[in-house]
Amino acid sequence: MESHGVPTTLYTLFLPLNTNGDRRMQREQLHWVQSEILRYAGGLTRYPSSNGAWGDRAARAYRDLVSPIQSAAPLGPEAEAWFVSLAAKVALELEQQQILSLAQPVWLLQTPPHTEPVVLVEAPHESYAVDRART
């Protein structure tokens, strides 16, 4: 069976929306992070902010809003080094000791050749349905 995918790494950076000094992340800082990722990887998905919590060695609990940003990049040490470097720059910029990030192996799936295109159309109940007849 022929493969129609490319092995890739999915990177997720969890950006804290407040500095350790309790200042809110500036919109320009968020745009800077996103533009750096776009420039390097060519695309990203930013998810809605969520509550995050962690504890230190003195058993103090800290809470913050985090904004997860995901991007796929080719497998290999170059992309890994780039994302680690970005996380370090972001930590410095946002006055953080560290930035939580994940690297997950995934497959970037591609449409097999000679198949009908799939078009998403709005269904009456406001969800999406697949319509293979439309192009």
- Segment 15-73, tens digit of pLDDT: 988 876 677 888 899 999 999 999 999 999 999 999 888 777 888 887 888 999 999 99
Q: Going by DSSP bridges, is the β-strand pair 101-109/50-55 parallel, antiparallel, or unpaired?
A: unpaired
The helix (run of H) or strand (run of E) holding residue 50 is: strand 50-55
Distance separating alpha carbons of residues 111 and 116, to the nearest angstrom = 10
The CATH class given to the 5-131 domain equals alpha beta
* Extents of the domains making up the chain: 5-131
pTM, entire model: 0.74
The token pair that represents 9 in the structure block: 């790494």
The helix (run of H) or strand (run of E) holding residue 37 is: helix 27-41
8 A C-beta contact, residue 71 and residue 41: yes
- Specify the range with the lowest mean pLDDT, choosing from 31-35, 47-51, 79-83, 116-120: 116-120
